[in-house]
Amino acid sequence: MHTVNHHFFFLIIDQMIERTTGQQAMTVAELVAENDSIIDAFEAEHPAQLI
């Protein structure tokens, strides 16, 4: 019985971590997409060098 409860607990924790990580990644992506320096860099031949 404890094994099932532990498995269920870790499954819930894993899902929460995955959801939170995904939300944080989306927030970073949105902030980067709004950054004028990064937007302008993509007009250059080698954007990675400017970013």
pLDDT > 70 fraction of the chain, expressed in percent and rounded: 96
pLDDT score at 1:
57
pTM (2 d.p.) = 0.60
Mean model confidence pLDDT for the chain = 91
Residue 27 has pLDDT above 90, yes or no: yes
- One-character DSSP codes across the chain: -HHHHHHHHHHHHHHHHHHHHHHHHHHHHHHHHT-HHHHHHTTSS-HHHH-
